[in-house]
Amino acid sequence: MAQVEETLERIKVQPGVEGYVICDMQGQVLRRFPTMSQETAEMYAASMMHLAHKARGVVRDLNPKSELNYLRIRAKRHEVMVAFDKEFLAIVIQRWQPAGTS
């Protein structure tokens, strides 16, 4: 458990990180960024669970021997990274700016 805490602390102090959510495969929020509201964490968990399930299905359809382990989504202002495990989903939200903009 100490290793999990160390990893979460390392994520929290990375530049641009605005939040994280750790949820189980049923979408139940287990951990969230301290300043993130429970409602926001649940919204991210539900949305990413749905998207992760669909993306995993697409990868398996393309090649049944492959499995999706990581998903990265870039939007206008944020980047959402999702890491998969057999039991958990780790979601990290960070600010994003295109290169050359201030």
- Tell whether 60 is covered by a domain: yes
**What is the residue type of 25?**
M
Asked whether residue 52 is assigned to any structural domain, the reply reads yes
Closest CA to 48 of 88, 11, 8, 98: 88
How many whole angstroms separate alpha carbon 39 and alpha carbon 59? 30
How much is the pTM? Answer: 0.85
Q: Which amino acid appears at position 82 of this protein?
A: V
Inside any domain, residue 79: yes
pLDDT tens string 52-91? 889 989 999 999 898 888 999 998 889 999 998 888 899 9
Residue 1 in any domain: the answer is: no
H or E element, residue 92: strand 88-95
Give pLDDT, residue 44: 94
How does strand 17-24 pair with strand 29-32? antiparallel
Distance CA 77, CA 5 (A): 28
pLDDT band at 25 (very low <50, low <70, confident <90, very high): confident
* CATH number of residue 46's parent domain: 3.30.450.30
For residue 33, the enclosing domain spans: 20-95
Report yes or no on 13 lying in a domain.
no
**In terms of C-beta density within 10 A (0-12 exposed, 13-18 middle, 19 or more buried), how is residue 33 classed?**
buried
59 falls within a domain: yes
Task: Look at the block and give the residue holding tokens 């926001």.
Answer: 40
Residue 84 lies in a domain: yes
Residue 1 has pLDDT above 70, yes or no: no
Q: What is the pLDDT of residue 100?
A: 67
- Lowest-confidence segment of 31-35, 46-50, 80-84, 97-101 by average pLDDT: 97-101
Q: Are 91 and 48 in contact (CB under 8 A)?
A: yes
Give me the number of domains the chain comprises: 1
Does the residue 15 lie in any domain? no
